[in-house]
Structure formats: C-alpha cells, structure tokens
C-alpha cells in the first residue's frame, strides 16, 4: 500500500490546504516561522487511529469543522483481504485509491464517494432521499385529497432514524389511513436500504483502519536524554533498551545474562556494531559509543579521545542527535507501517550535522514517507527539490504549494531556504575545484542548463561551470579562480546584462577572447538554446502551450512568472534520470554553444 496525498480543512489557520502529494521517501514542508508547518504535522498526527482531532485545532477564524483526509493506493490483494475479513462477499481486480476522512469530535473515519464507487459500495443516500421525498409528497397529496386535518411529521434536518420514529408514532395514532401507511412503508424500506448499504461501508472502513492504516507518529522535540544507565531488572520494559534492539545488535536477553562470558562477549559486539553504524551519520568528530554492564545496571558511555563521558556531559547538539538517531531509526525499522513526522529537526545542530541528519533519514526510510518541517537551507539540497512542499500563510489562511517552481508569488522569506540551498550547492564548486577549465556564468539557471547539456551531449567534457553571482560580479569570481591557477572564460546571455557585465570585466583587465555569448542572436538567453517545441515539452512540461515569441520572452510575459532557476534545476534532474531526449535543432544549438566555450590546449 502506498500513501499518496492528504488534504486538511478548517484546522487552525488552514482553511483548505488543497491536495498535497507525499514524496516517495522524504516530504519536506518548507516555510518561514509561523507559516503553519507545525499545524500540518499536528493534523497528520491527529489522523492516527487512536486519536481524535485536538481541541485547539478549531479554526482561528470562522466556524468550520476541522477535518483531515488521506488517500492510499491499495493493491487488489489487500483490498480483497479486507473484504474477506470484514465478511463482505466482494472482490476487486485492480488497485484502488481509498480516501479516508476524520472529522473533529470522533475517532471514526468516513470513506469518500469516489472510493465507494471504486469498491462497488456506492453511497445510495441520494437515491434513498429521493424515494423518501417522493413518498412524502404523495402523502401530502393524499392528506389534502382526504380533507383530513392531520399533519405528517416533516422531514427536516433530523437524523433519518429519528424521522422513522416519528413516522411510526404517526402510524400508531392513525391506523385507518391505509394509503398513507403504505407510503410510510416505502419510506421505511428506503431508509432500511440506506442503513444496510452504510453498514457494508462501515464494516469495510473499520477493518481497513484496523489492518491497513499506518501509525502517524510526531516528533516535535527530543527532550529525553539518552540515559547514562538502565537497571537490568527493568530492561525488558525500558523504551530506550527496546529502541537499541532496533538500531543495533543490542539484545536485552544477552546483556542481562547471568553468564558473564556471554555478557562480556555481547558488550564487545554491541560496542563495535553501534559505533560503526553511528559514525556513518555523525561526521563532526571521532566518538565511540560504549555499553558496560555491572551487577545492577547497563551503563552507557560516549568515548572521545579515550575519555569516557556520560551522554549528559556532551554538547546539546550531540545529545539531541544521539536521541534523534536512536528514536527515529528505531521507529523506521519497526515491523509496523509508521509514518514519521518531525517538526524542525535541525534546530540544535550546525550546518554539517544537519547534513548528517539528512543522510540518516535518506538511509533509513522505507516504503512509507518521512515528513519533516524546516526553514533551514541545510536540510534542502539540489537533489531533493522535488520533495519540497512550500507552506505559506496568506490572507485566506495557510496554503500548501506542491510545485515550488510554479509559485513565484510566494513571499521571499518562504523561498529563501530553497534558493539559499541552490546557491550553496552551486557555489560549493568554487571551493572544490577538480577541473582546470572553468566557465563563469551569470547565475544558477545557466549552471543547471549547462550541466544538463553536458550530461546529455558532452559527458566527457572536463569543464566546470561556476555561478558568477550576477553579470556584475563575474569578474570578481573569475579573478579568484585565476588566482588559483584555473583557466577561465565568461559566458553571458546576449542581452543588456552582457553589455553591463562586459563593462565591468574591463576593469579586471579581462581579455576580449575569453568573453563568450550563449547565442549570436540579440536579446536571447540560455533558454533560447532550446527549440520552442523542446522548451515547451522538456522544460515547461506542457507541449500544448502556444506562443510565437522566443522562449525567454515568453517566460518574461507569464503572470505569475515561473522561477527560472527552479525550472532549470528540474530539467537537470530529469536529464540525469534519463528522461530527456533533445531534438536535432536543440542538439545543434548545444553543439555550437560548447564549441563557443571550448578551451584550446597545446599538446
């Protein structure tokens, strides 16, 4: 079973999130503080089968009822197993998208109309309602024709079951009105049909929740310190000890053994195993994790430079990270369908430790996604942009924006961690030069397209593409590279930016022959290297678009305007994944471009 999407309504500041799709491994909720990231995680936690939607979820404004809906793509074998266990004589022959909704004030779930249809359990309330309304109209006519002064109970907003009670009272009081009583029997039958159908739905839903629904577990803090010791007598029920069994070869039975030789041998094995596993995901310093049992307790130590420390004696960041590692990895490796929700996991950690934390999540995620919130650029990388869901608070309430490149209207602070992450990733290449030849370009958009063209057409090219930080700054970047002994060329779009940039390069005594242009045609940018057809289908991913201008002019004219950097990054990712084939026209332009920036070397 695959969890596919969620939707949140009337939950704190969230009026209607719209459908938000989960990523396969990590779903990253990115946005500034107070944007509603925590509310999204809390709403997902409230979907857990043992919880009701919390009281404080009631809307900040308005009177809507909080509700959370989650959709699951379920294989036919699992659906049929639920049918069988629920005692329903039904089967399906294909996977089914099942959407459940939980509303404020109840632990029960409802099955949406489309799911009912796919399961052949359609909601017949409309059919029943029409039948009942038709009977009520007939009864009104019969009463009018008879000239009687009796009044039938009105079908208003009361429950159907309450209405039936009123009708039965009416029958008892008016036994001689046979025509009317016959129509009341039709109302009884329509309502009984409705309840019989609803029982099938209720039975299926209850069994699906019991056997298939994942657990939704929220980690909003990691305040529990890793213990310095655990009494041997309480190991079997201790949460830390049980978590250690999931993340290492630690065995409660073996460490509590009365056989000291077996106990010591197990200690040594655990110390090697846990240290080897942990050091892959903690690159800040060299530490060892050690356990040692005495007659009463199992003691835990962190060894650094051969000095033993209690976990509580280490830095807050190291304590938090150790707690995070044990608890999260344990939950991910449990034999349960856990959906792990983490609120701001990088708060206590510096940049390098945050990158280690990301590696922990990537290495241990399973079939169910991990969802975490952040406004840190160190937990957002060039390779996980497709996992990002922007959380933004607007006048109409918190919104979840699924495609980051499609929402340039997002305020600058919301996009900052994403754009910063891109900038950091691109500029890392300046401090990690492994190639002699370097082309300085105006910005990250150019870097991403050039990297993609290299992947597609020039895999063996030994050239590094460097973000110059804007046309006016390219001379500064290039001069630094030349100071490191690199060969440098400067590549501009053929527009006003080039004119301004070339003027600045003159102050850096840059030779004209190393100043290059993406295309010879005036008023063109790197987007115009693509044929119009390729740009529509491969970059904008919409071949049905119609425009006669250049690609770059079309992008300028779109309202709202897509973020060019994120479009380029998305194209690079698809190129790396092997999902791109260029047309002959685009290939020719790419070949001309690489010829333009080719470095000549003497043999």
Of 67-81, 110-124, 202-216, minimum mean pLDDT range: 110-124
Segments making up each domain of the chain, as ranges: 1-122+213-225+323-413, 125-194, 229-309, 433-596
Which residues have a Cβ under 8 Å from the Cβ of 124 and sit 6 or more positions away? 193, 194, 197
Angle at 319 between CA 318 and CA 320, to 5 degrees: 90
Look at 185 and 112; give whichever has higher pLDDT.
112
Least confident of 30-44, 59-73, 155-169, 302-316: 155-169
Going by C-alpha positions, the residue among 9, 21, 96 that lies closest to residue 59 is 9
Are the beta carbons of 502 and 515 closer than 8 angstroms?
A: yes
Helix axis angle, 412-431 to 564-576, nearest 10°:
50
Is there a common fold for 1-122+213-225+323-413 and 433-596? Answer: yes
Structure tokens at 288: 């060892």
Label residue 361 by pLDDT band (50, 70, 90).
confident
291-339 pLDDT tens trace: 999 989 999 999 998 899 998 888 888 888 888 888 888 888 877 788 9
Q: Is it the case that residue 222 has pLDDT exceeding 80?
A: no
Q: Looking up tokens 């991910």, which residue turns up?
A: 332
Fold of 433-596: Rossmann fold (3.40.50)
Three-state SS letters, 334-363: CCCCEEEEEECCCCCCCHHHHHHHHHHHHH
Residue 74 CB contacts under 8 Å (≥ 6 apart), including other chains:
1, 95, 96, 97, 98, 212
Task: Provide the percentage of residues in the chain whose pLDDT is more than 90.
Answer: 37
Has residue 482 got a pLDDT over 90? no
Under 8 Å CB-to-CB from 296, ≥6 apart: which residues? 231, 232
Distances (CA, A) of 511 to 436, 467, 488, 502: 18, 20, 11, 10
Tell me if 289 sits within 8 A of 271, measured CB to CB: yes
Contact indicator for 502, 478 with CB cutoff of 8 Å:
no
Which pLDDT band holds residue 388 (cuts at 50, 70, 90)?
A: confident
| Cα 30 from Cα 373, distance rounded (Å) | 6
What size, in residues, is the chain?
Answer: 603
How confident is the model over 455-470, as pLDDT tens digits? 999 988 888 888 887 8
1-122+213-225+323-413: what fold? Rossmann fold (3.40.50)
Q: What is the mean pLDDT of the chain?
A: 84
CA dihedral 265, 271, 272, 277 (to 10 degrees): 140
Helix extents (H) in 124-232: 125-146, 160-173, 178-211
Tell me the CA distances in angstroms from 150 to 137, 157, 168, one per residue in order. 15, 21, 15
Residue listed under structure tokens 């996009």 = 415
Interval 214-231 mean pLDDT:
84
Q: Please report which confidence band the pLDDT of residue 431 belongs to, taking 50, 70 and 90 as the band edges.
A: very low
Which pTM value belongs to this model? 0.65
Q: Which two three-digit tokens encode residue 333?
A: 């490796």
Can you state the percent helix, strand and coil of the chain, rounding each to 5? 50, 20, 35
């Amino acid at each position: 079973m695959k969890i596919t999407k969620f939707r949140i309504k009337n939950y704190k500041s969230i009026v209607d999130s719209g459908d938000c799709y989960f990523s396969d491994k990590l779903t990253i909720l990115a946005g500034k503080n107070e944007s509603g990231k925590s509310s999204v995680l809390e709403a997902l936690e409230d979907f857990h089968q043992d919880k009701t939607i919390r009281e404080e979820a009631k809307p900040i404004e308005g009177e809507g009822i909080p509700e959370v809906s989650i959709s699951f793509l379920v294989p036919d074998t699992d659906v049929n197993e639920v049918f069988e266990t629920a005692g329903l004589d039904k089967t399906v022959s294909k996977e089914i998208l099942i959407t459940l909704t939980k509303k404020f004030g109840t632990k029960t779930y409802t099955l949406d109309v489309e799911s009912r249809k796919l399961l052949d359990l359609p909601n017949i309330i409309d059919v029943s309602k029409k039948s009942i309304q038709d009977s009520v109209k007939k009864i009104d006519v019969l009463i009018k024709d008879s000239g009687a002064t009796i009044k039938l109970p009105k079908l208003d907003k009361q429950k159907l079951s309450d209405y039936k009670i009123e009708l039965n009272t009416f029958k008892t009081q008016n036994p001689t009105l046979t025509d009317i009583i016959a129509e009341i029997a039709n109302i009884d039958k329509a309502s009984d049909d409705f309840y019989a159908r609803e029982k099938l739905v209720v039975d299926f839903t209850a069994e699906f929740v019991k056997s298939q629904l994942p657990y939704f577990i929220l980690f909003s803090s990691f305040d529990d310190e890793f213990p310095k010791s655990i009494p041997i007598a309480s190991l079997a029920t201790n949460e830390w000890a049980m978590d250690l069994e999931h993340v290492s070869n630690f065995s409660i039975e073996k460490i509590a053994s009365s056989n000291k030789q077996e106990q010591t041998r197990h200690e040594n094995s655990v110390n090697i195993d846990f240290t080897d596993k942990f050091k892959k995901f903690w690159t800040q310093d060299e530490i060892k994790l050690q356990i040692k049992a005495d007659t009463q307790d199992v003691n835990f130590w962190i060894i650094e430079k051969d000095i033993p420390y209690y976990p509580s004696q280490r830095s807050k960041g190291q304590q938090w990270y150790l707690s995070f590692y044990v608890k999260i990895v344990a939950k991910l490796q449990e034999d349960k369908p856990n959906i792990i929700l983490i609120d701001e996991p990088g708060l206590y950690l510096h940049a390098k430790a945050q990158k280690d934390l990301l590696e922990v999540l990537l290495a241990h995620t399973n079939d169910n996604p991990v969802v975490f919130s952040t406004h840190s650029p160190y937990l957002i990388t060039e390779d996980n942009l497709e996992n990002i869901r922007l959380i933004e608070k607007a006048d109409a309430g918190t919104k979840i924006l699924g495609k980051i490149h499609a929402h340039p209207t997002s305020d600058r602070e919301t996009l900052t961690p994403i754009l910063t992450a891109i900038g950091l990733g691109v500029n890392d290449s300046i401090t990690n030069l492994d190639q002699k030849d370097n082309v300085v370009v105006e910005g990250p958009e150019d870097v991403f397209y050039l990297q993609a063209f290299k992947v597609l057409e020039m895999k063996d090219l030994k050239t590094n593409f460097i973000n110059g930080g804007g046309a006016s700054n390219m001379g500064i970047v290039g001069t630094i590279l030349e100071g490191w002994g690199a060969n440098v060329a400067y590549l501009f779009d053929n527009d006003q930016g080039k004119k301004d940039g070339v003027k600045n390069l003159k102050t850096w005594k840059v030779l004209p022959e190393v100043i290059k242009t993406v295309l010879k045609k005036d008023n063109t940018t790197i987007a115009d290297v693509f044929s119009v057809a390729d740009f529509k289908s491969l970059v904008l991913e919409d071949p049905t678009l119609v425009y006669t201008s250049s690609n770059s002019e079309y992008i300028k004219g779109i309202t709202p305007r897509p973020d060019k950097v994120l479009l380029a990054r998305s194209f690079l990712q698809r190129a790396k994944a092997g999902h791109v084939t260029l047309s002959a026209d685009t290939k020719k332009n790419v070949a001309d471009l690489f010829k333009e920036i080719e470095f000549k070397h003497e043999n």
